[in-house]
């Protein structure tokens, strides 16, 4: 027979149109995501094409982090600074002020890119990894397609003016999510407020992080600002508070102050208007299902991915989470065998379902015990 066990979680799931309509920010295009649930809390023309400016540098860092993770690159490796890279150390460009012929470590170049937003550091890193910046941009675009950035093309490593260096706030959000998820240790560079580089042949240079949200009591720990005259001001940002992370991306802010104020407003709205609900944790028992003719009468079940839902505050109802299985499940049961489904529904409408796996082996009873159990069932209907 089909058995359903209800978990004691009753919350609202759907993000209502009214909650979104009540909020607005002064960006040309913007998006807000709850990191753990993956749910989009706010969007304003998220697929509109933009010039990502220095937000491009997030992907530049990702390419380096990928190579470090694979062992093909080391933080202590040094790259020779070309004249091409040095030219972007001149006035009018964000730079870490490297000089032709300098040998700069990968770690210092990364800090120069992430903290000081150095365009010169981007070219030095790109040339050191791929030989030329054009080849490096091909690597960037390939990685973008791999992680689902379908509306992005990278033409350079820094984000400076180029008609073919295009993206969307949705794609920048995908990239930011990937960065934080895949490189949690390396991501800490993005929260550093200052970078001091003991440069060759000169006094050390200290520069502050250009992300204005790092200096507010918001819980911000990244990610990257951007500016181009044609695009105006942009910011990919993230806050982490009490185990919950939000990612926001906005572009087309008219001023620096707008960028800071409106991004903080968007993140604060997400934190105060919604709750994150943990439904299940990876590989952690979430319930029990009945077993027939086994040495145990029940077996614990789990899901292979953590499940979170983001819900509006003061609307914690109508969501039902249930275990559905065709049982009791006959022994023997192998550990990690699929034994049922975890169903998440709203107003009796299925939202999503997940496979449930047995947490352990359950062996059969011996012949005599199975016989007695079967007789018991025939007489009393007791399993």
Of 188, 190, 266, nearest to 223 by C-alpha is 190
Cα–Cα dist 203/199, whole Å:
7
C-beta neighbour count of 212 within 10 angstroms: 18
The H or E element containing residue 130 is: helix 119-130
Say if residues 151 and 170 touch (Cβ distance below 8 Å): yes
Q: Give the relative orientation of helices 133-146 and 57-70 as an angle to the nearest 10 degrees.
A: 80
Of 358, 354, 355, 356, nearest to 334 by C-alpha is 358
Cα–Cα dist 237/97, whole Å:
26
- Token digits for 30? 């913007």
- CA dihedral of residues 75, 76, 82, 85 (deg, nearest 10): 30
Which three-class secondary structure state does DSSP give residue 209?
A: coil
Strands 329-330 and 287-292: parallel
The distance of Cα 87 from the centroid of its chain, to the nearest Å, equals 35
The H or E element containing residue 61 is: helix 57-70
* Active-site residue (options: 37, 44, 57, 237): 57
* Active-site residue (options: 37, 44, 54, 251): 54
The H or E element containing residue 365 is: none
DSSP structural state of residue 137: H
Tell me whether residue 374 is one of the annotated catalytic residues: no
- Token digits for 318? 């109508």
* Active-site residue (options: 37, 94, 95, 117): 117
Tell me whether residue 117 is one of the annotated catalytic residues: yes
Tell me whether residue 18 is one of the annotated catalytic residues: no
Active site residues: 54, 57, 117
């Amino acid at each position: 027979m089909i058995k359903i066990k209800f978990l004691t979680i009753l919350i609202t799931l759907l993000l209502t149109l009214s909650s979104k309509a009540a909020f607005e920010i002064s960006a040309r295009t913007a998006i807000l995501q709850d990191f753990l649930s993956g749910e989009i809390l706010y969007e304003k023309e998220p697929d509109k094409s933009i010039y990502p400016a220095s937000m491009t540098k997030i992907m530049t860092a990702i390419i380096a982090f990928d190579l470090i993770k694979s062992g093909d690159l080391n933080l202590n490796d040094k790259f020779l600074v070309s004249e091409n890279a040095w030219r972007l150390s001149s006035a009018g460009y964000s730079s870490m002020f490297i000089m032709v012929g300098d040998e700069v470590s990968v770690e210092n170049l990364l800090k120069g890119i992430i903290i000081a937003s150095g365009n010169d550091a981007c070219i030095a890193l790109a040339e050191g990894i791929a030989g030329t910046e054009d080849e490096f941009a091909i690597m960037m675009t390939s990685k973008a397609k791999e992680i689902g950035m379908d509306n992005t093309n990278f033409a350079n490593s820094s984000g400076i003016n180029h008609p073919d260096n295009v993206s969307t706030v949705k794609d920048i959000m995908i990239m930011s999510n990937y960065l934080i998820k895949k490189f949690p240790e390396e991501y800490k560079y993005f929260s550093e407020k200052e970078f001091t580089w003991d440069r060759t042949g000169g006094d050390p240079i200290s520069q502050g992080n250009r992300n204005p949200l790092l200096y507010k009591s918001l819980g911000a720990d990244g990610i990257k600002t951007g500016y181009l005259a044609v695009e105006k001001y942009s910011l990919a940002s993230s806050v982490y508070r009490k185990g919950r992370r939000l990612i926001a991306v906005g572009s087309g802010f008219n001023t620096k102050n707008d960028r800071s104020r409106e991004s903080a407003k968007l993140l604060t709205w997400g934190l105060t208007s919604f709750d994150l609900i943990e439904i299940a944790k990876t590989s952690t028992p979430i319930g029990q299902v009945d077993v027939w003719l086994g040495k145990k009468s029940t077996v614990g079940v789990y899901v292979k991915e953590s499940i979170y839902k983001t819900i509006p505050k003061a609307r914690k109802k109508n969501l039902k989470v249930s275990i559905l299985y065709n049982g009791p499940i006959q022994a023997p049961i192998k550990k990690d065998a699929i034994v049922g489904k975890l169903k998440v529904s709203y107003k009796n409408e299925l939202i999503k379902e997940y496979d449930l796996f047995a947490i352990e082996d359950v062996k059969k009873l011996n012949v005599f015990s199975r016989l007695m159990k079967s007789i018991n069932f025939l007489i009393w209907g007791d399993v």
